Amino acid sequence: MKQIIIAQHYGFCMGVKRAIAIAEETAGSNGSVTILNEIVHNEAIVEKFRREGVGQSFSLEDVKEGTLIISAHGASPEVFRKAEERGLKVVDATCPLVIRIHKIVKKLAENGYHVLHLGDDKHDETIGIMGHAPDKVTVIPTLDALEALGPIDGKLAMTSQTTARVSDFVEVERRAKEKYPQIEIFNTICNATNQRQAAIMDLAPKVDMMLVVGSESSANSKRLAQISKAICGIAYLINSPDDIRSGWFEYSDKKIDVVGLSAGASTPDFLIDGAIAKLQEIGGGEVEVVYPEKRMAKNRLALADDDD
Ligand code: SF4
């Protein structure tokens, strides 16, 4: 291996940084603090809060007292209402771009629209969005789900999960317009997702192998790995640097000279730096690291957000 090229956009997004900062500040307050679901979908971050004594629950019913933090993915109004009824103090760390979708969907429903939402129906974000307009949202996880729908009369709109694959959205949008000419489209994929996917599409054709650092639970990380695999042919989603195997380089059919590296929006910098160090170790220390033009290696961590 001679070179590691880092994607132009990778790692923490605005919404994740904000949610972690809110959770850290809240964790420092008195009394018991519980995060509902995962604050962001990254195992290292979830574990960090566990170590610091912050509770985590996947069920509101299990939270008896104290402060409840709503994760970056948001929740339905019913969750807020029930939490307050139980006497919990609620701290909302929902990403503003998810709140934007809540508002769009709510307003559409109030104005008589039915909404087709491109997303994973088991994802926290989708569940929260559905809760803002009960019975007015139909989740379509795939193009096939759209095809399976029968005729729909009346006002119709389409939205999407913030982390949907851009090419999937384009395809579903095209077919939805054919099938339901009255449909109004709201592209609610967030900027961070757009930028990270575009950066992968730019980088993956130029490298021999792509690595994406991110957890299995992270929808946007998995998407980046899928896109990488489709373009580059060899791509791995790694949860941590320890997942990188030297065998991937030794036994590959293709000579691996250049590795492309990216990370999901919920992946902390220390895991990305760890992956770079592990790759350099495997490459025998003679590996050049090419950072995006605007980011110098030595001050990479300190650079301000300019992309999302
Ligand atoms: S991926 Fe997008 S919607 Fe999700 S937290 Fe980040 S900025 Fe917000």
pLDDT in tens, 33-55: 999 999 999 999 999 999 999 99
Tell which residue, 161, 206, 207, 209, has the closest CA to residue 187: 161
Residues known to be catalytic: 125
- Give 192 Cα–ligand 1 centroid separation in angstroms: 6
Terminus-to-terminus CA distance in the chain, angstroms? Answer: 32
- Give 95 Cα–ligand 1 centroid separation in angstroms: 6
Atom of ligand 1 nearest to the CA of 95: 8
Any atom of ligand 1 within 6 Å of the Cβ of 101 = no
What domains are there in the chain, each with its CATH number? 3-12+191-302 (3.40.1010.20), 14-95 (3.40.50.11270), 97-185 (3.40.1010.20)
The answer to whether the CB of 236 falls within 8 A of the CB of 243 is yes
- Give 257 Cα–ligand 1 centroid separation in angstroms: 33
Closest residue by CA, ligand 1 atom 8: 15
pLDDT digit string, tens, across residues 183-233: 999 999 999 999 999 999 999 999 999 999 999 999 999 999 999 999 999
Three-state SS at 117: strand
pLDDT digit string, tens, across residues 92-144: 999 999 999 999 999 999 999 999 999 999 999 999 999 999 999 999 999 99
Tell which residue, 106, 77, 96, has the closest CA to residue 17: 96
Burial of residue 147 (number of CB atoms within 10 Å: 0-12, 13-18, 19+): exposed
